[in-house]
Amino acid sequence: MTMLAMQLDGPGRPLRFIERPIPEPKPGELLIEVAACGVCRTDLHVADGEIPAHYPIIPGHEIVGRVVKTGSNVEGFALGDRVGVPWLGHSCGVCPYCRIGRENLCDEPEFTGCTRDGGYATHVVADAHYCFQIPASFSDVAAAPLLCAGLIGWRALRLAGDAQRIGLYGFGAAAHIIAQVANWQEREVYAFTKAGDAAGQAFARSLGCTWAGTSDETPPRPLDAAILFAPVGALVPTALKVVAKGGRVVCAGIHMSDIPTFPYADLWGERTICSVANLTREDGTSFFEIAECAGIETTTQPFRLEDANVALAALRDGKVKGAAVIVPSL
């Protein structure tokens, strides 16, 4: 039996359509038939070599599919179960971080679509310990962006604490999901887009954002927190200028351009800057409960498996509204 996939042979090279044998799941692993796989900005960082990867690699870490085979010692999953596979694909379980439930900081992690093959394929093998049951209320395509855009956005939102007024810089896949969660929690959401992106601002307002403007604009009220989904380091000092005393700037990307120098006065007043690193299993279980309760609706644009390069180009050029999703059955 063979599988189809789009493989990245090295940084800066286009993905290549391949056919190869379907892998066997090892102990503790699941073999999953992929129904949908979201296209994430992190995939661009892998493709560009900005994040170290094990090439050749099959990208994709927002995977929804069904279990078709299990390895030994698998508990909690059965054949036919619909599962989701996120970015963090494995942790060592023994380092100091894993032992205290901070496996997102594991010293020897594996990452789906980066150091282990991902979901731009008809089949994928995943560590069952890092697979999640997907609520039935979400279709395969609608659920795919939740596996990273949703999960990382959720972790970023939690790091923002109880902030009432939250700014979201970069209104793409993650922001359009987390804006809905924040609105459901009765917070005020302020959306920031690139200059000239009137469509993105209208999209943000349609999802209940209190205000939408460009990233160089000052919102009508000081923010309690800002979450940066855009991987632009220059936005850190920009966000600090509009965050009130005691506020926090959360950098949600796994990769970001360098942060320029800025006056200490912009940080003073007990403002803080922090980053988001990967996710924990608890992030996954708690987020899917919230996503269902909040009635999250994802906006998606489907692509065929063989059009993965087209999907990545559209994401790079800012031409995707919501989230791009690869659907192997198309």
* Nearest C-alpha neighbor of 62 from the set 289, 288, 326: 326
Strand partners, 297: none
| pLDDT tens, residue by residue, 190-211 | 999 999 999 999 999 999 999 9
Q: Is 280 within 8 Å of 288 (Cβ atoms)?
A: no
| pLDDT tens, residue by residue, 15-69 | 999 999 999 999 999 999 999 999 999 999 999 999 989 999 999 999 999 999 9
| pLDDT tens, residue by residue, 163-190 | 999 999 999 999 999 999 999 999 999 9
Dist CA 130 CA 80 (whole Å): 17
3-state secondary structure of 16: strand
Dist CA 239 CA 262 (whole Å): 11
Residue matched to tokens 């209208």: 202
Q: Is 217 within 8 Å of 197 (Cβ atoms)?
A: no
Dist CA 39 CA 61 (whole Å): 8
* Nearest C-alpha neighbor of 36 from the set 2, 71, 66, 16: 66
| pLDDT tens, residue by residue, 64-85 | 999 999 999 999 999 999 999 9
pTM score, whole prediction: 0.94
Dist CA 126 CA 74 (whole Å): 11
| pLDDT tens, residue by residue, 262-289 | 999 999 999 999 999 999 999 999 999 9
Query: Could you give all domains of the chain from N- to C-terminal order, each with its CATH number?
Result: 2-138+298-327 (3.90.180.10), 151-275 (3.40.50.720)
Q: What is the 3-state secondary structure (H, E, C) of 264-302?
A: HHHHCCCCEEEECCCCCHHHHHHHHHHHHHHCCCCCEEE
